[in-house]
Structure 1
Amino acid sequence: MLLKGLKVVEFASYIAAPGAAGLLCDWGAEVIKVERPTGDPMRRVLADTRSEIRENPTFELDNRGKQAIALDITHEAGREALIRLTEQADVFLTNVRLASLKRYGLDDKALRARNPRLVYAVVTGYGLEGPDAAKPGFDMAAFWARGGVAHMTAPRGVDPFMLRSGFGDHICSLATVSAILAALWERERTGEGRLVEASLLSTGIYTMGSDLAVQLRLGRLSRMRTRDDPLDPLNNFFQSAEGRWFVVRRRDGGPDFEALAGAAGRADLLEDPRFSTGRARKELAKELTAELDKGFNALPFETIARRLDDADLVWAPVQTPAEVAADHQAIASGCFVEIEHEGETPYLSPSGPARFPGVPLSPRPPAPALGADTRQLLAGLGYSDAEIEAMLESGAAA
């Protein structure tokens, strides 16, 4: 694999930082997940649901293929074991708050003094500087709400709504991987690692960057509008006779009005003086949307799909999660990867978004049990059997 030989020590929990380490692991890096003896809270993410589910696919997604060691950094022996791991590592990845790391001698300066080649990557809620740098931040708060995403995605008159699990976290995971790889490339030239950081706040702002660029430059930004009153009726959602939704996206400068009207069986709209120009169509967006609805609502989805494809329009069905899981294009393009399951048939999980043609998507090992590799990893650091037993007895390791 591409990152074979790269060693990553992950001292993190929840999604954003473990997700970044998970991508590196999928690409061939050796990732050691360091947890407190109580474990990453994501191990219990489905424990409070009313269902009878005993699996934890959310945790598996971000932690498959890793090794696991449980250390208590409040014990000197546990801290020393973590430091020894970082001395052998290329990357240390954490989302623990910096005050806590510094208090236990695990901050950037302390670890890189013992391993100058170490890339020290921090995932934060709000960044490393500023009045709120020390605040705790989950993606619901830092990415979704404070980053402006919740406001900009809610149409006018609609209350803010919750985001799906890991939405902002996984975008932040991608940003974190990018920063790590850039620092590793710099290390190839300088021989030294560095501190890198990605925050949920900055990720949210960048995710909405096209809109915020308008706000920053012009001082204003229009709100989202409801489907029946769009800014542009040719960029909209429509529904078939069976109730299946789909979206159409207009291409600038193309004959998309003619094609869309034809696909809806409403060629008569081309002769309607109300919609004779692009400007008129936008000014009367609500009326044109209603007319196109009449056409599409009377047609079966398969007919609509064929017409939209024949016209080479940009469109896509609005799919349920079950439909996404069965999507032949998603399957063919490698959007899912098999996860090994001891004694059972491998099951599918989302793969990372990047592809490396020629590198097979082989089944991935499952996520490790809490502390599954504690003894083996401590032995690899030079601890004797007696020292390992003493650490387990004292609670410094688990």
Structure 2
Amino acid sequence: MLLKGLKVVEFASYIAAPGAACILGDWGADVIKVERPGGDSMRHVFADLKTELASNPTFDLDNRGKRAVVLDVGKREGREALARLAATADVFITNVRPAALKRAGLDEATIREANPRLVYCLVTGYGLEGPDAHKPGFDVTAFWARAGVANMTAPKGMDPFMLRSGFGDHITALATVSAILAALYEREQTGKGRMVQTSLLATGVYTVGSDLAVQLRFGRLASNRPRNLPLNPLSTFYKSSDERWFVHNPRRGAQDWPDFATIAGRADLIDDERFATGKARRENSPMLVAEFDKAFAAMPFDEIAAKLDAADMAWAPVQTPAQVAADPQVMASGAIVQVEDGEGGTFPSPAAPARFPGADATVRPRSPTLGEHTREVLAEIGYSQDEIEAIFKAEAAA
């Protein structure tokens, strides 16, 4: 495993920071998840929704393969144990707000005194500076809404809508992993660690960066357009006779026009003066979309797919989650990993989106139960058995 020997201490909850720690764990790091009494809120997501589901795949996704410790940092013994644990780590990752970390003596300056080589990673909603840096942030607020992603995603005239669970969090997790690895590389050159910081807000801005770059440069930006009103009628979604959607992305400019029209069975449109030039197709986009809608609605999906592939067009089906789960290309791409279920079997889960041929982890350990490794980890950092019992007796650990 690429990161074998790297020790990561995670004092975080929800998704973005735990997700980053989990990716490091998937790549070989020893990740110790420190939770407060009661545990990470994500442990209880299905229970809170009052479902009858026996497992929690949302929590498992971001916490597989970790070791779990419970410490109450509201008590002196718990704070001291976490500081002592961080002093043995290569990476400390947290999304606790800075003011609370400072009150607990777990801020970067304090921990670094005992561990100058530490990479201290802080994941926030809005960053560490500015008038709103202190505010709590989630992906729907900081990433989706405030960064402009929701506005740029909804077509013009449509009300904003909610994003899917963990969407911005997992993109932020990837940004966080890259920042940590950069700091670890620097440490190899200098011998010293540093703080790295990521935020949901800045990640959201970068995620829509191609469009926002236009806004920043020219002070304006075209809105997202409805499906039936695209600037380029070849670049939108169409539906087959068996009710399956697909999207086409023209990559050869005007060269794709005659091929696409022929695939649709409408070669007669190629020289139609309403559509014969790129400008004409743009100006008459709704009419051309309507013609293609009728044409593709008369063809089964498999026929459309075969014709698009034969012409080497850039296209893809619009798949449901169930179809994604059954897609052989998804499996072949390494996008799914097996996770131990604790009962001798495994279940599939999304993998971290990178591959290391020859070193891929095809099966990952299950996520830990709350406090499963508390005694083990405390012993590893030098606590005697009597000291461990004293911490438990003080209810500073569980």
Question: Which bin holds the TM-score, normalised by the shorter protein?
Answer: over 0.9
| Partner SS for 1:271 | coil
Aligned residue in 2 for 1:303: 303
Q: Structure 2 CA distance, aligned partners of 1:254 and 1:279? A: 11
Decide whether the 8 Å contact of 2:336 with 2:349 is kept in 1: yes
| Equivalent-residue separation in structure 2 for 1:276 and 1:236 (angstroms) | 18
Given that 1:19 and 1:173 are in contact with CA atoms closer than 8 Å, whether structure 2 keeps it comes out as yes
8 Å CA contact retained: 2:26, 2:361? no
Letter in 1 for 2:102: K
Match runs of 1:239-254 below 5 Å: 239-253=239-253
TM-score (norm 2): 0.99
Which amino acid counterpart does residue 298 of structure 1 have in structure 2? A
- Residue by residue over 1:272-329, the C-alpha shift from the partner in whole angstroms, topping out at 9 and shown as x without a partner, is 1111101111111111111111110100000000000011110000000000000010
Task: State how many pairs are aligned.
Answer: 398
Q: Is the contact made by 1:168 and 1:204 (CA closer than 8 Å) also made in structure 2?
A: yes
CA–CA separation in structure 2 for the residues paired with 1:169 and 1:254: 39
Residue equivalent to 1:104: 104
Partner of residue 86, structure 2: 86
Could you give the per-residue CA deviations for residues 10-58 of structure 1, whole angstroms, max 9, x where no partner exists?
Answer: 0000000000000000000000000001100000011133431010000
Mapped partners of 1:349, 1:8: distance in 2:
22
Deviation >6 Å, runs of 4+: none
The corresponding residue for 1:397 is 397
Rounded to whole Å, the distance in 1 between the matches of 2:104 and 2:334 is: 42
- Distance in 1, Cα, partners of 2:50 & 2:78: 36
Matched, 1:292 2:306: no
* Rounded Cα–Cα distance in structure 2 between residues aligned with 1:304 and 1:63: 41
Q: CA deviation at 1:360?
A: 3.3
Unmatched runs of 5 consecutive residues or more in structure 2: none
What is the Cα deviation at residue 361 of structure 1? 2.9
State the secondary structure of the residue aligned to 2:345. strand
Deviation at 1:254, TM superposition (A): 5.2
- Amino acid aligned to 1:387: E
Question: For residue 369 of structure 1, what is the aligned residue in structure 2?
Answer: 369
The normalised TM-score by structure 1 is 0.99
Matches of 2:62 and 2:254, distance apart in 1: 42
Percent identical pairs in the alignment equals: 64
Aligned residue for 1:45, secondary structure, equals helix
2:265 aligned partner = 265
In structure 1, the residue matched to 2:177 is: 177
Distance in 1 (CA, whole Å) between partners of 2:360 and 2:128 is 38
CA RMSD of aligned residues (A): 0.9
Q: Deviations over 1:242-278 (max 9, x none)?
A: 1100000011435111111111111111121111101
- Structure 1 stretch 12-21 or stretch 352-361: which is displaced more? 352-361
User: Match of 2:26?
Assistant: 26
What is residue 68 of structure 2 aligned with on the other side? 68
Alignment of 1:227-238 (within 5 A): 227-238=227-238
Tell me what 2:323 maps to: 323
The answer (yes or no) to whether the contact 1:334–1:361 under 8 Å persists in 2 is: no
User: Quick check: 1:193 aligned with 2:193?
Assistant: yes
2:126 is equivalent to residue 121 of structure 1: no
**Structure 1 position 342, deviation (Å):** 2.1
Corresponding residue number in structure 1 for 2:337? 337
Query: Given that residues 10 and 93 in structure 2 are in contact (C-alpha distance below 8 angstroms), is that contact kept between their aligned partners in structure 1?
Result: yes
Q: 1:165: which partner in 2?
A: 165
The question of whether the paired residues in 1 share the 8 Å contact of 2:254 and 2:278 is answered with no
Q: Give ranges in structure 1 of 5+ residues lacking alignment.
A: none
CA deviation after TM superposition for structure 1 residue 227, in Å: 0.6
Q: CA deviation at 1:331?
A: 0.8
Deviates more, 1:170-179 or 1:50-59: 50-59
